[in-house]
Structure 1
Amino acid sequence: MAWRDAKASRVRLLLFMASIILGIAAVVSIQLFSANLKDNIKLQSKALMGADYIIDSKQEPTERAQALIDSLQPDAKEINFVSMIAFPKNGGTKLVKVRGLGGDFPFYGTIDTQPSAAADTYQDKGGALVDATLMLQFDVKPGDSIKVGAVTLPILGALKAIPGSTAISTSVAPPIVIPYEYIEQTDLLQFGSRKEYQFFYKTDEPIDLEQFEDIIDPQLKAEEADLDTHTSTSERLGRRYDNVGKFLNLAAFIALLLGCIGIASSVHIYIKEKLKAIAVLKCMGASRMQSFLIFLIQIAGIGIVGGLIGSLIGIGLQELFPYILQDFLPFSVEISISAQPILIGIFLGLFMSVLFALLPLLRTWYVSPLEVLRVDEKGAQEPRKLRYVVIGAVLLFLFLFSFWLLNDALFALGFMFATLIAFAALAGVATLFIKGIRKYFPKRWGFTARQSLLNLFRPNNQTVVLVVAIGLGTCLISTLYFTKDILLAKTEVDQSTDNANIIILDVQSEQQEAIENRITENDLSIVNSIPIVTTRIHKIKGRLANELRQDTTKQMRNWVLNHEFRSTYRETMIDSEELIAGEWTSHATPNAPIVISISDNLAEDGIDIGDNITFNVQGVLMETTVGSIRKVDWRQLQPNFNIVFPAGALEQAPQFRVISTYVPDEAASAALQRDLVAEFPNVSIIDLRQVYTIVEDILDKVSWVINFMAFFSITTGIIVLIGSVRTSKYQRIKESVLLRTLGAKNGQILKISAFEYLFLGLLGSLVGVLLALISSLALALFLFKEPFTPSFIPFLVFLPGITVLVLAIGLSNIQTVIRSSPLEVLRREG
């Protein structure tokens, strides 16, 4: 009976199935890709690092650390730092990451160059490997030269990939590889320069790297060094991309939920139309179980077939993810197919279809033969307790599935409640709209407009489900556009000359006057000249930093104890700072403790007003007291500091400077950089225009990924719309035929349908955009703390686009009535 009834209703059942196919496809494709990603990270962990383990230090290793490094006999070594380079061919300059390599690094994986032989010969020939994109930008080729500080080297090849680099990191500072022995000759390692020493090791015999790390790493940390193994790095990388997978999974899960809501709504109407047939079966002796199973088997079959089709589509879709995420991955992903996500897809299709269709299905159980003869809207209702049990089961499933995706009960609860709030808000607005129409019904409107409004709250109406389905999909993608504008607003270059857009780093004290003169000679003003002194915490609250590092019960994070702070001294606070505790001290008092100001993130580690801190300032111990705490806006692209000393405290300490200026255009920026790099090769110059461009490019890539996932939700919403509108077609056709029989013209019937679907489409998309507007406003005020200027794209594209789509689907339903006679239509539909 289930098979026979399904064949008679195959069009509607196929639409039910289509509602969940995309959601299943999204979940399966992401699950498969996540599994492949984890497998690839494990398989390629050595190639990602290029070695079995690395010892690195942010400063020149101490005598004890160097002895430990030498005892392990490194197979290769590197010094890397960020600096300016120049191309003598055309005078071009660029901020790059210089990597001075010595030895046969990498031991695993390869340095990908063009020509390929350059990777093997650059050390013997004394040449450089230059980032391939950088060579294209400056129109240089192998055979040209590159100037790195005081050294000019021939370019032997274009560098395409090297272990330890990602696409995003290279876009900020492209890598340049030169032989290790040339680093000292560059004269770029000046006082205050940020540099990293790395030592690479390859183990010929298998060892337990976890046990090795547990023994060696604490000894290195005591000497301000660190050990990373390929296994710990792969685990850290896996956790990082696991978060990306969780986000993608949640987006796919929302698409699946939309599909399930579509099924619940469509099955609700479908079952109501079958009530009379069910009662007839019961009159003929069918049991409650039999009548219930007929439709349960149909829905279960839809779920299994939909899950299988969705899983097959998901297998194909996962091939796209390596291309979508290639800018965020430091390696290429080899795709393979495993059975687990496919089985999960089929199970989800079956379980979620049955679970979300259970409430309307229960009506078949409670239909009595007597009720059939007078079926009405309130007949055959399941008991309230049973309804609550089913709703509870749905909520429990939401929590368990979210917990499975996130592995965190608190986050799972948060996601479940956020989803419920979004659905409730959309459903609530739709319900209020219906009640508002009922209460303030426009009785003076024309017949066609009034008739179309009545359809929004008549039996079998789809107002609530369509507003929820289309509204949520529209809300997701609209929120993306609104929040993207908030983030991009942070990257807009202020054209005011009060704001610097060129920052010059690592200016030595003896260079300060000459560089400032060079800036003013170019008719430019100096916005800031900030002194920087490197300091380390020696003692805090009377306890030595070394003692605190060994204390496993301490509340303070290790980075505070290990960090080499770049501090400054000045009389006043700046725009990116706000005093939140204590009193600001502008000048140091002679023969009294120096009163400093710390940032709020340091205060989170238990440092408070009045605490004593002893700093190691280039070998000199300095006693200080915390006098104030500042809230620092680290998002502003300007020098900000964790620790600020008062004027008169550090003037005699070894220091370097950061000088900033404003240039009006790219030509002036290029000219200034060219002059400064030619005369002062050790300085590094950041052009904030380029930084803003990189940030905008990254945001575009992120928004593309989110757009791709929102596609599943919006498309599922449209499929639910098609299914719901097509399901209500049969009710609307009978009404339209009756109207024609009473004398209504085709034009009137067309207008009635057009107005109804116009209202539905407009309401669904409008509620979605407005909900996105409210949520984005909250994000701007409470998270980003920025003024909110909404994008016009959702209003200009989604509102009319979704409305026209709903209108087109609705009008396609009524063509049968308009083209044929009433009797012919009734016979055909019967």
Structure 2
Amino acid sequence: MRFPKEIGLAFRLAGRELRAGFRGFGIFLACLALGVAAVAGVKSLAASYQAGLAEDAASLLGGDLEAALSQRPATAEERAALSRLGRVSHLVSMQIMARRETAAGPAARTLATLRAVDGAYPLYGSVELRPPMPLASALAVRDGRPGAVVAPELLSRLRLKVGDTILVADAAYAVRAVLERTPDAAGGLTALGPPLLVAASSLHAAGLDGPGSLTRHFYRLRLPAGESAKSAMAALRREFPMAGWRLRDAAAAQPGLTRFMDRLAAVTALVGLAALLLGGIGISQAVSGYLDGRTASIAAMKCLGAPRRLVVTTYLLVIAGQAACGIAVGLLVGALVPVALGPLLGALVPVRFPPGPYPGALALAGGCGALTALAFSLPQLAAAGRVPPLLLFRGYDAPDRPRLGLTARLPGLLCLAGLFALAVVSTPDRRLGLGFVVAAVAATALFWLFAGLAVFLAGRIPRRPGIRGLALRAISRPDNQVGRVLAALGLGLSTLCAMILVEANFRAAFTEDIPRTAPAFFFVDIQPDQLPSFLQTARSVPGVSRVETSPMARGRIAELRGAPVAEARVDPDARWAVQGDRGLTYAATMPEGTRIVAGSWWPKDYAGPPLVSVDEKIAAGLGLSLGDTVTVNALGREITATVASLRRINWLSLGINYVFVFSPGALDGIPMTWLATAYVDNKASGDPAEALFNAVTGRFANVTAIGTGDALNAVLGVADKVAAAVTVAAGTTLCIGMLVLLQTMAVGMRRKTYEAAIYKACGAKRRDILAVFLGENALLGTLAGCMALAIGGGLAWAFVAFFMDLPFRFFAVPALLTVATAAGVTLTLGMAGLWRALAGKAWPYLRNE
């Protein structure tokens, strides 16, 4: 019965301690609440996206089931089979050049995404038009001219308005309405051209439905109630094994966007978890400071016969109560993130973000917060339990804190291990989660090593009398603050420094380096009979340095090493190569700039069985090696080729690159179009790129011109969104670091007050004492900035050089800003308590001494 009595007594004592409220726990609560809010907010937002995707999956896909074909419509037999399963809607999509004829001068032209729909579209949801009207009415033929609804961006680019005429290839459309939103909007953050909706029946008049045109045909089905989409897909695969279509159900709607959002959520959640771990330092210091203030009470409890477990249990309950308040505040803020950001994100992506709340995300964040609080509080509680009762009879000063052994630290280490395990389990990509754990351990080791090195070097610097010498002594003295300050600022500043340098290198590459060597335009959908006249037209434009061409067909990967691709183990980074259609080509000679890393290229006059050369990274992701077979399905025809070589591709050159290049004859009999890239001399007089664009699009209405500048701007737009998300997470880390730094300064204030008294007794003036303290803080901030610069710069170099495969450049301005920020933050927060230290009287300390 003794143990239950002790528990009851511990609760009563803890209740009395909690009557003081949050006094002494401000930093504790702030660190815990911010860290939990960061994790809960990111996880809730990810759960909100998944919930919105599940609720609107059929609308986002356009049906319960979709069958996609490249460059050909479904045959009569295939269409009949689809119709037997349910109601069918047929949509055709392609990239086109939309234009507006002008009375004088060249026509205004721009890239657009044409979507030709039938009368059944949309099967789910509705199309929002301005002014409001039925879609069928907007697309109907009136006065001999079909209608079109156009995205506002397209109207702006062509300077059109409702009622004007827009030209596509050989057809003219009357703009009847502005397209506000479609339920099956493109599932990505970028799109090559704004959408233009027309009736499918008008494609023939435009001349865009010929053989070999780069069209994609989507057949959406609305199944009868109770029918299974997976059963319908299985039946279609059995009936048409050679159709070459890509089948997916509503559960697979928006795969590209989902993959992007999952990765972004995982990265930002781990950054938030890193902020929570950093907050653990503030929690540890806050608990230590609180328990130091309760040493007399603990000693009195010991004198009255309280066992160690009662002391530990009492103050564990006190800390648990405070932690529960901090976690609750963090969960409340995190739960409101989808409410606040959902409408903003809903305007960027075609998915609703329901407000929630999401218990799973909140439970995960709460568990992380509880484990963090325990991991960093239990060692302090173990030390408090060892306070000797004789402390009451030893005067005003406390003895040195006892050194804890492994047994005393084990509960805290187990909680920390549980936190790391939770991080790995809750991250969809286990490698990313394990990488976070390794990075956290490595960062701790780096901070410790850098702090030890800084103290060692500061102790070896010759010390001259004066303020600088005293500041250096403060850095290298026992119980210095170097380690705590570096830990407080290092993680947040290192993350920000790395992100800034990566973004600077990325932006420089995409705005300066790549445009210098990249082609000015990609020209797609060049018909074989147009190729000679196209080359003549393009090469005749002054300033065009060279034009490269390549035949192209579309196909999808059907089998790897003789097994269906659905059964193959594919690395997530290579999954895009087997999802959907890929561009396929053939070449007799090795393309210029090709670097073979395994195998060899086939002879120029090769005429044997089909061979294929594969990009080395994709081959590794697909598990392919030399001698393996790859089967592609192009327009219903399956071609099996043997891997003859692996090559390294520099995708950032933006030249004509293909994952799969086949030997001559392998693609014979498949309708093909030609792809071309044109390079211009930017030093030539006039604007050769504009002249080339006008010459080609003016003569070949069916040829689509894609400017590399537009593509690069789209990539930069996505990069800006990612950088913004990571900046917010890293900013949370930096805020927690500042709180930890403030706690560190508060812990050291008693020593500074004592030192100020000694300085005063030795005749130092107030301004001299202030200069010493400010010099110490400036040195600590500079050390933190240099460490963040070293770690952040190293991370940025590794990411840019090895992951992005770009040359790394060091930008001085971000580096100086990092160091200046660290020094400024340390000086500012260090000033907070200095006036109080300087105002203290010397005589109480001298009397006690």
TM-score, with structure 1 as normaliser: 0.88
Q: Residues 295, 823 of structure 1: CA spacing in aligned structure 2 closer, same or farther, 3 A cutoff? A: farther
The yes-or-no answer on 1:568 pairing with 2:594 is no
Counterpart of 1:352 in structure 2 is 372
Counterpart of 2:775 in structure 1 is 755
User: Partners in 2 of 1:555 and 1:24 — Cα distance?
Assistant: 35
* Segment of structure 1 superposing worse, 12-21 or 329-338: 329-338
Q: 1:639 aligns with which of 656, 679, 683?
A: 656
Q: Residues 278, 154 of structure 1: CA spacing in aligned structure 2 closer, same or farther, 3 A cutoff? A: same
Q: Residues 418, 372 of structure 1: CA spacing in aligned structure 2 closer, same or farther, 3 A cutoff? A: farther
SS in 1 for 2:41: helix
Correspondence 1:414-563 to 2 at 5 A:
414-438=435-459, 440-444=460-464, 446-458=465-477, 460-492=479-511, 499-525=518-544, 527-534=546-553, 548-549=563-564
Counterpart of 1:399 in structure 2 is 420
* Segment of structure 1 superposing worse, 651-660 or 392-401: 651-660
Q: Residues 334, 24 of structure 1: CA spacing in aligned structure 2 closer, same or farther, 3 A cutoff? A: same
User: Partners in 1 of 2:496 and 2:839 — Cα distance?
Assistant: 38
Instruction: After TM superposition, give the deviation of residue 33 of structure 1 in Å.
Output: 2.4
Counterpart of 2:4 in structure 1 is none
Counterpart of 1:14 in structure 2 is 26
Q: In the alignment, is the contact (CA less than 8 A) between 1:26 and 1:314 conserved in 2?
A: yes
Instruction: After TM superposition, give the deviation of residue 197 of structure 1 in Å.
Output: 1.2
Counterpart of 1:319 in structure 2 is 339
Q: In the alignment, is the contact (CA less than 8 A) between 1:371 and 1:380 conserved in 2?
A: no
The yes-or-no answer on 1:582 pairing with 2:595 is no
Q: Residues 241, 744 of structure 1: CA spacing in aligned structure 2 closer, same or farther, 3 A cutoff? A: same
Counterpart of 1:203 in structure 2 is 223
Q: Residues 302, 391 of structure 1: CA spacing in aligned structure 2 closer, same or farther, 3 A cutoff? A: closer
Counterpart of 2:116 in structure 1 is 100
Q: 1:224 aligns with which of 224, 244, 261?
A: 244
| Structure 2 gap segments, 5+ residues each | 1-12
Instruction: After TM superposition, give the deviation of residue 638 of structure 1 in Å.
Output: 1.8
Instruction: After TM superposition, give the deviation of residue 712 of structure 1 in Å.
Output: 0.8
Q: 1:660 aligns with which of 677, 683, 708?
A: 677
Correspondence 1:237-386 to 2 at 5 A:
241-272=261-292, 274-275=294-295, 278-322=298-342, 325-326=345-346, 329-338=349-358, 341-342=361-362, 348-370=368-390, 379-381=400-402, 383-386=404-407
Q: 2:155 aligns with which of 132, 135, 141?
A: 135
User: Partners in 2 of 1:249 and 1:46 — Cα distance?
Assistant: 29
User: Partners in 1 of 2:194 and 2:704 — Cα distance?
Assistant: 14
Q: Residues 491, 826 of structure 1: CA spacing in aligned structure 2 closer, same or farther, 3 A cutoff? A: farther
* Segment of structure 1 superposing worse, 189-198 or 371-380: 371-380
Q: Read off the aligned partner of 1:12 and give its amino acid letter.
A: G
SS in 1 for 2:710: helix
User: Partners in 2 of 1:580 and 1:8 — Cα distance?
Assistant: 70
Instruction: After TM superposition, give the deviation of residue 725 of structure 1 in Å.
Output: 1.0
The yes-or-no answer on 1:810 pairing with 2:820 is no
Counterpart of 2:193 in structure 1 is 173
The yes-or-no answer on 1:80 pairing with 2:93 is yes
User: Partners in 1 of 2:118 and 2:706 — Cα distance?
Assistant: 28
Q: Could you report, residue by residue, the CA deviation over 1:527-585 in whole angstroms, capped at 9, with x for unpaired residues?
A: 233231538799999x9x7xx5499689999977996652132434322x311122334
User: Partners in 1 of 2:633 and 2:736 — Cα distance?
Assistant: 61
SS in 2 for 1:86: strand
| Structure 1 gap segments, 5+ residues each | none
Counterpart of 1:164 in structure 2 is 184
User: Partners in 2 of 1:419 and 1:810 — Cα distance?
Assistant: 27
Q: Residues 454, 19 of structure 1: CA spacing in aligned structure 2 closer, same or farther, 3 A cutoff? A: farther
Q: Residues 592, 264 of structure 1: CA spacing in aligned structure 2 closer, same or farther, 3 A cutoff? A: closer
Q: Could you report, residue by residue, the CA deviation over 1:466-513 in whole angstroms, capped at 9, with x for unpaired residues?
A: 211210001111111122233334423559886521121222232223
SS in 2 for 1:472: helix
Q: In the alignment, is the contact (CA less than 8 A) between 1:588 and 1:646 conserved in 2?
A: no
* Segment of structure 1 superposing worse, 775-784 or 267-276: 267-276
Correspondence 1:660-739 to 2 at 5 A:
660-663=677-680, 667-739=687-759
Counterpart of 1:787 in structure 2 is 807
Q: In the alignment, is the contact (CA less than 8 A) between 1:599 and 1:630 conserved in 2?
A: yes
Q: In the alignment, is the contact (CA less than 8 A) between 1:497 and 1:662 conserved in 2?
A: no
User: Partners in 2 of 1:366 and 1:744 — Cα distance?
Assistant: 40
User: Partners in 2 of 1:4 and 1:748 — Cα distance?
Assistant: 45
Q: In the alignment, is the contact (CA less than 8 A) between 2:285 and 2:743 conserved in 1?
A: no
Q: Could you report, residue by residue, the CA deviation over 1:591-636 in whole angstroms, capped at 9, with x for unpaired residues?
A: 7667664433574456654678899999999997654332223343
Q: In the alignment, is the contact (CA less than 8 A) between 1:304 and 1:346 conserved in 2?
A: no
* Segment of structure 1 superposing worse, 521-530 or 701-710: 521-530
Q: Read off the aligned partner of 1:660 and give its amino acid letter.
A: T
Instruction: After TM superposition, give the deviation of residue 44 of structure 1 in Å.
Output: 1.6
User: Partners in 2 of 1:823 and 1:603 — Cα distance?
Assistant: 78
User: Partners in 1 of 2:833 and 2:17 — Cα distance?
Assistant: 22
User: Partners in 2 of 1:814 and 1:338 — Cα distance?
Assistant: 45
User: Partners in 2 of 1:313 and 1:826 — Cα distance?
Assistant: 49
Counterpart of 2:3 in structure 1 is none
Q: Residues 499, 253 of structure 1: CA spacing in aligned structure 2 closer, same or farther, 3 A cutoff? A: closer
SS in 2 for 1:103: coil
User: Partners in 1 of 2:741 and 2:408 — Cα distance?
Assistant: 25
SS in 1 for 2:129: strand
SS in 1 for 2:653: coil
User: Partners in 2 of 1:121 and 1:479 — Cα distance?
Assistant: 54
Q: Read off the aligned partner of 1:27 and give its amino acid letter.
A: V
Q: 2:615 aligns with which of 567, 576, 599?
A: 599
User: Partners in 2 of 1:297 and 1:615 — Cα distance?
Assistant: 65
Q: Read off the aligned partner of 2:482 and give its amino acid letter.
A: T
Q: Could you report, residue by residue, the CA deviation over 1:714-752 in whole angstroms, capped at 9, with x for unpaired residues?
A: 111111111221222122112212322332210111011
Instruction: After TM superposition, give the deviation of residue 664 of structure 1 in Å.
Output: 5.3
Q: Read off the aligned partner of 1:98 and give its amino acid letter.
A: L
Q: In the alignment, is the contact (CA less than 8 A) between 1:368 and 1:380 conserved in 2?
A: no
Counterpart of 1:389 in structure 2 is 410
The alignment covers a number of residue pairs equal to 819
Q: In the alignment, is the contact (CA less than 8 A) between 2:611 and 2:643 conserved in 1?
A: yes
Identity %: 21
User: Partners in 1 of 2:557 and 2:187 — Cα distance?
Assistant: 38
Q: In the alignment, is the contact (CA less than 8 A) between 2:213 and 2:525 conserved in 1?
A: yes
Q: 1:109 aligns with which of 113, 125, 129?
A: 125
Instruction: After TM superposition, give the deviation of residue 55 of structure 1 in Å.
Output: 2.3
User: Partners in 2 of 1:560 and 1:480 — Cα distance?
Assistant: 31
The yes-or-no answer on 1:32 pairing with 2:44 is yes
Q: Residues 12, 751 of structure 1: CA spacing in aligned structure 2 closer, same or farther, 3 A cutoff? A: farther
User: Partners in 1 of 2:498 and 2:454 — Cα distance?
Assistant: 23
TM-score, with structure 2 as normaliser: 0.87
SS in 1 for 2:132: coil
User: Partners in 2 of 1:768 and 1:157 — Cα distance?
Assistant: 54
Q: Residues 803, 286 of structure 1: CA spacing in aligned structure 2 closer, same or farther, 3 A cutoff? A: same
Q: In the alignment, is the contact (CA less than 8 A) between 1:96 and 1:176 conserved in 2?
A: yes
Q: Read off the aligned partner of 2:778 and give its amino acid letter.
A: L
Q: Read off the aligned partner of 1:516 and give its amino acid letter.
A: L
